[in-house]
Amino acid sequence: MSEVGDSGLSVYERLIGEDRVSGRLYTDPAVFEREMERIHHRGWMFVGHESEVAEPGEFVTRRLGRQPVLLTRDDTGVVRLWSNRCPHRGATVCALDQGQTRFFRCPYHAWTFDNAGALVALPGEEGFGPTFDRDMHGLAPVPRMDTYRGFVFGSWSHEGQTLLEHLGDARNLIDRACDVSPVGEISLRAGWLRHRIGANWKMAAENVCDFYHPPITHGSSGLMGGVPPGYFSDAYGGLTRDLGGGHGEVDYRHTEGGSQTGLGPHGFIFPNLFIEASSIFVIQPVSVGEMTHLQTPITWVGLPEEMQRPQSRRFAMAFGAAGVIEPDDAATWERMQLGLQAGEPEWVMLERGVQFDDTREGRALDEIVMRGFWRHYRSLMTDKAAVR
Amino acid sequence: MSGIEELLEQQRVEQLLFLEAQLIDGRRFAEWEALWVADGIYWVPANGDDTDPRRQVSLIYDNRSRMHNRVERYAGGKAISQQPPPRTVHLVSNVTIKPPESDEVVGGDVSLIVHSAVHVAESRPGVRVDWAGRVIHHLVERQGALQIVFKKVMLVDNDQELTTIDFLL
């Protein structure tokens, strides 16, 4: 299978059709390696939220693609994003998921960095000679970091689209998530549930705007009782919308039951962020057949408790490794990962509502957002200008 | 309490915990539910053992109606993640009875607080996982029988990435 990654760019043109994609895209390790290089280690990815490091000295550790990063707020209040790697010999400078500190000290030789990344102390500095320059040995910043309404994104590439260019029409999803709050602000401080799933990351990405599956996959959850009859049907009137750039959403605002599944939007921001009404999900690739699905509930700043509480109750019931929704998605994706080991038939089909692709907006159950995802994916995987 | 009475009390508590483990492993969910008082709380914290379940995420934070929903889903035959159901064996050990004032009591009457350890061997197709945690039960005496008021399972790896937990701990 490894020839997929080696045999030239046109291979991806063949593997990704307009209404179908090859099953090999979910199972071939060479495809995964190329995704990491072309998508996760080049483009913009969601990494966290400013509210997670609300106080000076607060930090969280994450992975950006496969690489360990450290999100900090320094003593002067500036949010910064670092490689979680000592510039001396490479150990992680922070082993905790989150906390608050003024200094990060490497366990190996005690090189010590302040929360603005500067090397402020090291034992036996004189032994490095008179030319040793502390300023040349601070923590390495992730090449690009930018924020949009508190959502922090990072990119390992020094150049390319700006964050606003990357977000494009998907900015509207973040706006709507924030504007549920009377002051336009969300907070993510409840901690994350981190669910390890034996399936390719793209299955979670495609699932975000798949409104064909909920009554089947989640029929056992007991939560379907809260959804209006016929909600997951074309006739109900919900829409699905390809927002370009691999982003997309499902939109029920104009329907009778529009507000019943949560307060915020339901959409996907390429390649790793899912805003699910009142929760945030992050899709973290691990290997071709493994991902971690991170999940946290949104708190809207200034919104009365009684409006937030039903949403956080729903989160507690539904999500995480022991929820009543999430395990059924995970089990389904794990079954797909197993099934796709069969090389025949070659294709995974994504043809529902293909007649609406011109307008990029279809019925709620249509697979328009998936096709938009794959068009963008194909452009990144085949972009000749992006070859270094 | 005399030495003999303490032994009998210890045995009575252990028998309840062993029965609970057997009901879970045997998927006898109605009988498991009957061990609980009406306002019981079943809690599996995430990201540490001493979080605030009202402000921070938990793996499980169920009142009785959610517990019922949970086991109904396990037994209902419709859940994808229960096709086939995971097989489990719970080993309960290190059972120690504490006086009721030894722990912050969340709600309702509590006669006994019991600390224990649990090891759960889980098997489902292609997957074999070992789970372990410290457990706290708050028990109440009702008509001569012990019932569960509160159960907290502190998984040793609750601050790590975890695979699906689609069974009772």
Q: Over the stretch A186-205, which tens digit does the pLDDT of each residue have?
A: 999 999 999 999 999 999 99
Inspect the interface and report whether the beta carbons of B164 and A324 lie closer than 8 Å.
Answer: no
A68–B contact, CB cutoff 8 A: no
What are A164's two structure tokens?
């606003």
Q: CA-nearest residue of chain B to A215?
A: B78
Quote the CA–CA distance of A295 and A319 in Å, as a whole number.
7
B48 occurs within a structural domain: yes
Overall domain count for chain B: 1
Task: Tell me the count of A-B CB pairs closer than 8 A.
Answer: 89
Q: What is the pLDDT of residue A375?
A: 96
- CA A15: distance to chain centroid? 24
Q: Which of A5-9, A131-135, A164-168 has the lowest mean pLDDT?
A: A5-9
User: What is the predicted pLDDT for the residue at B103?
Assistant: 66
Tokens 């690009």 belong to which residue?
A144
CA distance A187 to chain B (A): 12
Quick one: pLDDT at residue A49? 98
Measured over the CA atoms of residue A357, residue A242, residue A194 and residue B40, the dihedral's sign is negative
Q: Are B159 and B47 in contact (CB under 8 A)?
A: yes
SS3 A180: coil
**Given this model, what pLDDT does residue B132 score?**
98
Contacts of B19 (CB under 8 A, 6+ apart): B35
**pLDDT tens-digit readout, A259-300:** 666 689 999 999 999 999 899 999 999 999 999 999 999 999
The amino acid sitting at A10 is S
Task: Provide block-wise average pLDDT over 10 residues at a time, chain B (169 residues).
Answer: 92 97 98 97 96 94 94 90 95 93 67 96 96 97 93 98 97
Hey, which residues 300-359 in chain A have their CB within 8 Å of chain B? 315-317, 320-322, 324, 326-328, 330-332, 335, 338
Residue A46, helix vs strand vs coil: strand
* Closest-CA distance of chain B to residue A201, Å: 15
* 8 Å CB contact of B76 and A217: no
- Which one has a higher pLDDT value, A222 or A103? A103
Question: Nearest-CA neighbor of B135 among B103, B87, B107?
Answer: B103
Contacting A with CB below 8 Å, chain B residues are 44, 46-47, 51, 55-61, 66, 69-70, 72-73, 76, 78-83, 126-127, 159-166
CA distance B76 to chain A (A): 7
Residues from chain A that touch B59, judged by Cβ atoms under 8 A, are 193, 320-322
| Within-domain flag for B161 | no
| Inter-chain CB proximity B72 and A191 less than 8 Å | no
pLDDT at B105 (0 to 100): 61
* Residue A74 pLDDT > 70: yes
Distances (CA, A) of A311 to A306, A317, A323, B43, B69: 9, 10, 14, 19, 18
Taking an 8 Å cut-off on Cβ atoms, the answer to whether B58 and A197 are in contact is no
- Residues from chain A that touch B44, judged by Cβ atoms under 8 A, are 322
Summarize the confidence of residues A50-63 as an average pLDDT: 98
Residue A388 has pLDDT above 50, yes or no: no
| CATH label of the domain that carries residue B97 | 3.10.450.50
Q: Which of A219-228, A274-283, A327-336, B124-133 has the lowest mean pLDDT?
A: A219-228
Q: Is the Cβ pair B162, A194 closer than 8 Å?
A: yes
- Whether residue B163 is contained in a domain is answered as no
* A-chain residue closest to B47, CA distance: A191
Please report, in angstroms and rounded to a whole number, the separation of the first and last CA atoms in chain A. 24
Token output for B11: 């045995």
User: Where in the sequence is the domain holding B44, given as residue range(s)?
Assistant: 3-155
Q: What is the ipTM score, two decimals?
A: 0.94
Task: Determine whether the interchain pair A193/B80 forms a contact, defined as Cβ–Cβ distance below 8 Å.
Answer: no
For residue B59, tell me if it sits in a domain.
Answer: yes
Contact B161 A335 (CB under 8 A): no
A138 touches chain B (CB under 8 A): no
Domains of chain A: 45-148 (2.102.10.10), 169-382 (3.90.380.10)
Tell if the CB–CB gap between B162 and A330 is shorter than 8 Å: no
Q: How far apart are CA A43 and CA A35, in angstroms?
A: 11
End-to-end C-alpha distance for chain B, whole angstroms: 32
pTM of the model: 0.94
Mean pLDDT of A51-69: 97
Q: Would residue B133 count as lying in a domain?
A: yes
Chain A residues whose beta carbon lies within 8 Å of the beta carbon of residue B55: 190
Tokens representing A87 are 């510039």
Residue of A nearest to B48 (CA): A191
Q: Chain A window 94-133: which residues touch B at a Cβ cutoff of 8 Å?
A: 97
Grade residue A1 by pLDDT with cuts at 50, 70 and 90. Answer: very low
Q: How far is A53 from chain B (nearest CA, A)?
A: 16
Residues A348/A23, Cβ–Cβ less than 8 Å: yes
Of all residues in chain B, the one with the smallest CA distance to A297 is: B57
Counting every residue written for chain B, the total comes to 169
Mean of pLDDT over chain A: 93
Confidence of residue A308 (pLDDT cuts 50, 70, 90): confident
Does residue B47 form part of some domain? yes
Say what the pLDDT of residue A162 is. Answer: 97
Contact A331 B61 (CB under 8 A): no
Q: pLDDT > 70: what percent of chain A?
A: 95
The confidence score (pLDDT) of residue A2 equals 41
Q: Establish if B10 belongs to a structural domain.
A: yes
Q: Which residue of A has its CA nearest to B160?
A: A194
Contact B57 A219 (CB under 8 A): no
Cβ(B40)–Cβ(B149) below 8 Å: yes
Residue of B63, B71, B80 to mutate, testing the A interface (most A Cβ within 10 Å of its Cβ): B80
Q: Is B98 helix (H, G, I), strand (E, B) or coil?
A: strand
